[in-house]
């Protein structure tokens, strides 16, 4: 079983749609969680950290459920520019080894 | 720009050869990590260096080795290359003990033929 599992997609959605990605992690010692965005043939870039209380950054909302070891990302009002691979990440210690999921592909179409 | 630079950006090697990839960390960052990302997969942790010492290693064989220099730049060396070593190799720098963002370089694309 992989430490971080994601639905690979692809998710094909129209502009303006709301889309949700889910992720589960197996290591209960994980303390820090993130969503990264990766464009084709580019490096991953931090989209947002994920906190137990949930956090929002514009059109993006992330949630963490430690009891279920489950992380989610909600994107509202999808834009063409949101098309990318979204990587779910867990870490036992901040700044230490990052454990990535395989990524979920999002394609937003006009 | 993340301030993390990697070289070379692309290279092709033959099976059995050796390769050295280089990374220049963001100024002031004393921790560097290397990741391997195969096609269609997420990045996999290779190892991390802190103040020139290895500080954690993933599930990679000993033919993957590294160095961190006093100026915090870093190298990843891979010996006896195999076809499955073909991947994007990513360097990430951060400041240990802080909650600052981890910054990735643009990566080195390695193709083994």
B55-91: pLDDT as tens digits: 899 999 999 999 999 988 999 999 999 999 999 999 9
CB B43 within 8 Å of CB A46: no
Q: What is the pLDDT of residues A61-101, one digit of tens each?
A: 999 999 999 999 999 999 999 999 999 999 987 666 899 99
**Residues 6+ positions from A102 with CB-CB distance below 8 Å:** A2, A5, A6, A8, B40, B41, B42
Is B92 within 8 Å of chain A by CB? yes
Answer yes or no: are the C-beta atoms of B94 and A31 closer than 8 Å: no
What SS3 class is residue A38? strand
Interface of A to B at Cβ within 8 Å reads: 4, 41-46, 87, 94-103
Determine the pLDDT at residue B111: 98
Q: Is B17 on the interface with A (CB under 8 A)?
A: no
């Amino acid at each position: 079983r992989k430490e971080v599992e994601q639905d690979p997609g692809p998710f094909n959605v129209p502009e303006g749609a709301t889309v949700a990605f889910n992720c589960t992690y197996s290591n209960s010692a994980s303390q820090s969680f993130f969503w990264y965005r990766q464009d084709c043939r580019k490096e991953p870039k931090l989209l947002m950290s994920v906190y137990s209380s949930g956090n929002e950054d514009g059109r993006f909302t992330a949630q963490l459920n430690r009891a279920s070891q489950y992380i989610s990302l909600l994107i509202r009002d999808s834009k063409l520019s949101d098309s990318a691979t979204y990587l779910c990440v867990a870490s036992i210690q901040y700044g230490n080894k990052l454990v990535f999921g395989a990524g979920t592909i999002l394609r937003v179409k006009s | 720009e993340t301030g993390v630079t990697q070289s070379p950006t692309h290279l092709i090697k033959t099976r059995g050869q050796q390769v050295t990839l280089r990374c220049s960390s963001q100024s002031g960052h004393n921790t560097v990590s290397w990741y391997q990302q195969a096609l269609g997969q997420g990045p996999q942790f290779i190892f991390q260096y802190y103040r020139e010492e290895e500080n954690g290693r993933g599930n990679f064989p000993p033919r993957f080795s590294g160095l961190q220099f006093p100026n915090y730049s870093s190298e990843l060396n891979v010996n006896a290359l195999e076809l499955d070593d073909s991947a994007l190799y990513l360097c990430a720098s951060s400041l240990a003990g802080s909650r600052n963002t981890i910054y990735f370089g643009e990566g080195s694309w390695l193709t083994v033929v």
